[in-house]
Chain A
Amino acid sequence: MILQSLIIALESLWANKMRSVLSMLGIIIGVGAVIAIVSVGTGSTQQVTSRIANLGSNMITVYPRTARGQGGRVSSGSSQEKFSLELADYMEKFCPSIIKVIPVKQVNGRLISGDINVNTTLLGTNLDYADVNNYEVDTGNFISKNDDQERRQVMVLGSQLAKDLFEDANPIGKRIKVNYDGQVYMFDVIGVMKEKGGSMGGDLDDRAYIPLSVSMDKLTNSDFVTSYIAQAASSEKAATAVNELKNFMVKFLNDENEEQFRIISQDEILDTVSSVTATMSIMLGGIAAISLLVGGIGIMNIMLVSVTERTREIGVRKALGARNAHILFQFLMESLNLTSFGGILGIGFGWGAAYFLSQYGNWPMVIAPLSIGLAFGFALFIGIFFGLYPAMKAAKMNPVDALRYE
């Protein structure tokens, strides 16, 4: 009986092609939206997470927290004055899950080459920095141990910064004037980094890298760093490493309430990113669900019209021996066909939209089978749910009244 009803329903849908397509539109858009949204959500999340992972999945950054006094002034005796070079060695020693700690001294200065001026961040660090960050030189060399020990005024440029200063010319061997705190220093360019893109705390490609010793002893004349980058032994050990670091800092700074320092791990950033995208997905998914619901109401509407229009047909079928169940299944199959064809077209449409958006947004195109199953299942459910009432109305018709209907 179900098979016959299916065939009858298909014939009738085919007879009303245009109307069938129009009434499917809501379902097509709804299903397409679900698939596109889920795909965009997972694709862009993957892109962001892979970028973050690219930074080195096991990196932990420790900053001094500038304790604020009343009126937002930095209170005196700041904890910054405890962030020394030696502290990096202590961290390595007391935190077994951490294999390396790199001190960073960051300053903002003006770079001058010929008549081009660029304000940028100068990052004082040592050769481990590039290593730990998965960050490689494109041409030339990164800062060496000797550069650091001998306080050579050398500089490695981020890829974008190199373009800004020298356009297409080879920057290596060029001299750059650095204006910092009213003083002028001369630096030799020894390398240019590969392109890396954005990351936590700004775009790496816009920065210049100089030896830590130069930044601390020559530029700032300070004994204290701006942050430490700690590398955990593995990404599995990252969480343990964060705890070890935290305990160490609490003891070292005698800072029970963690007011003087701040630890940021990749995990934490990933969590934030994924919770943001999850919220987005839920929101957009809600919109998609509503459009499916509206599509369902459209289906019900069209089915009610169809039942009324075909009252006479229902009467004839009953006169020829159709049972109520035959009529019920016929109309149920019709709405189910509408929503399942709509669902299939919607999958194609969503796929296309997801592909287009992934090209546009430059992230990997991911179509989760679950989202297809979910959207399609929901479409079928809507076909049954919204088709049931019109189908029951048709099935319950009195044959004589139906036959007399003009």
Chain B
Amino acid sequence: MSKVIQIEQLKKTYHLGKVEVEALRGVSFEINSGDFVSIMGPSGSGKSTLMHIIGCLDYPTEGKYFLSGQDVSKLNDNQLALFRNQKIGFVFQQFNLLPKATILKNVELPLTYNNTHSKNKKRLAVQALEEVGLGDRLKHRPNEISGGQKQRVAIARALINHPSIILADEPTGNLDSKTGGDIMEIIKKLHDDGNTIILVTHEPEIARYGKRIIYLKDGVIDRDEVIV
């Protein structure tokens, strides 16, 4: 199986005035294509920081990160933007939909940044929304739908460019357990379809949807378990 992600001795230090915060202090692991990995750990242990680096939104302070064999630290801003557009699908805890755009426009957004023709754009977005069961809500705005529906829109948006990995940072954190379960079923189905998934959560039941759990503590890996 091909390695989608290789991380070696990754460190990230934030400077807050004179105070240095070591969010990651040497993290190494590999993730194969088609894996479903959950990352767990207490609040402040560096889970989001790790996700941002994997998602090409931030640079590590030290260490190496290869995405599909490409050394990400060697990429410039525009190449990073291209990677985010083509290889990464991000699902956030706060949904992060554009409040004034319709659901359809929200899902079309990643296509806007790779010059997809507007006719295809609409067709692909409608298709993605149908896959998450929202084909009848195209013209609605985010404030007109429920939290669970918002997260489904975000998942449709993350899928639209067929990314190499889907990164979900506490996707059920703002949802009740019933709705959260529904979202997890969608994510599980994505994995069954062959997508590579990294999921951050602090709920053990949610983490158990994954096939492997990495436990982070104080910026280092505490345990790395494969679930059988």
Residues of A within 8 A of B (CB): 1, 4, 8, 11-12, 15, 312-313, 315-326, 398-400, 403
Interface string of B100-134 (1 = CB under 8 A from A): 11000100011011110000000000000000000
- Check: B81 CB closer than 8 A to any chain A CB: yes
**B96–A321 contact, CB under 8 A?**
no
A contact residues around B55 at 8 Å (CB): 319
A contact residues around B96 at 8 Å (CB): 312, 315-316, 319, 403
**A321–B113 contact, CB under 8 A?**
yes
**B84–A400 contact, CB under 8 A?**
no
If A11-B101, A312-B96, A313-B98 touch, does A320 touch B58 (CB 8 Å cutoff)?
no
- Check: B57 CB closer than 8 A to any chain A CB: yes
**A322–B58 contact, CB under 8 A?**
no
A contact residues around B98 at 8 Å (CB): 313, 316
CB nearest to A402 among chain B residues: B57
**B58–A400 contact, CB under 8 A?**
yes
CA distance A325 to B115 in the complex (A): 14
- Check: B86 CB closer than 8 A to any chain A CB: yes
Q: Least Cβ distance of B226 to chain A in Å? A: 30
**B84–A319 contact, CB under 8 A?**
yes
**A319–B90 contact, CB under 8 A?**
yes
Number of interface residues, chain B, beta carbon within 8 A: 27
CB nearest to A324 among chain B residues: B77
Q: Least Cβ distance of A397 to chain B in Å? A: 11
If A323-B113, A399-B58 touch, does A15 touch B100 (CB 8 Å cutoff)?
yes
CA distance A10 to B109 in the complex (A): 15
CB nearest to A396 among chain B residues: B77
**What are 18 sample pairs from A and B whose C-beta atoms fall under 8 A apart?**
A4-B115, A11-B100, A312-B96, A313-B98, A318-B57, A318-B81, A318-B84, A319-B55, A319-B84, A320-B84, A320-B90, A321-B81, A321-B110, A323-B82, A323-B113, A325-B78, A326-B113, A400-B58
- Check: B164 CB closer than 8 A to any chain A CB: no
If A12-B100, A322-B81 touch, does A4 touch B112 (CB 8 Å cutoff)?
yes
CA distance A317 to B106 in the complex (A): 10
Q: Least Cβ distance of A315 to chain B in Å? A: 8
Q: Least Cβ distance of A318 to chain B in Å? A: 7
B contact residues around A8 at 8 Å (CB): 112
**A320–B85 contact, CB under 8 A?**
yes
CA distance A321 to B58 in the complex (A): 13
- Check: B157 CB closer than 8 A to any chain A CB: yes
Interface of A is mostly: helix
User: Which B148-199 residues have a C-beta within 8 angstroms of A?
Assistant: 157, 161
B85 touches which of A1, A15, A321, A399 (Cβ 8 Å): A321
If A4-B112, A403-B96 touch, does A320 touch B157 (CB 8 Å cutoff)?
yes
**Inter-chain pairs besides A321-B85, A321-B114, A323-B77, 20 sampled, C-beta below 8 Å:** A8-B112, A11-B101, A15-B100, A312-B96, A315-B96, A316-B96, A316-B98, A317-B109, A318-B57, A318-B84, A319-B84, A319-B90, A320-B84, A320-B113, A321-B161, A399-B57, A399-B58, A400-B52, A400-B57, A400-B58
B contact residues around A400 at 8 Å (CB): 52, 57-58
- Please indicate which of the listed interface residues B58, B86, B105 has the most CB atoms of chain A within 10 Å of its own CB: B58
CA distance A310 to B54 in the complex (A): 25
Q: Least Cβ distance of A218 to chain B in Å? A: 90
B contact residues around A312 at 8 Å (CB): 96
CB nearest to B89 among chain A residues: A320
Q: Least Cβ distance of A326 to chain B in Å? A: 6
Interface string of B48-62 (1 = CB under 8 A from A): 000010010110000
Q: Least Cβ distance of B140 to chain A in Å? A: 15
B contact residues around A403 at 8 Å (CB): 57, 92, 96
CA distance A318 to B82 in the complex (A): 10
- Please indicate which of the listed interface residues A1, A8, A320 has the most CB atoms of chain B within 10 Å of its own CB: A320
Q: Least Cβ distance of A224 to chain B in Å? A: 86
Q: Least Cβ distance of B7 to chain A in Å? A: 17
Interface string of B29-53 (1 = CB under 8 A from A): 0000000000000000000000010
**B81–A323 contact, CB under 8 A?**
yes
- Please indicate which of the listed interface residues A12, A317, A319, A325 has the most CB atoms of chain B within 10 Å of its own CB: A319
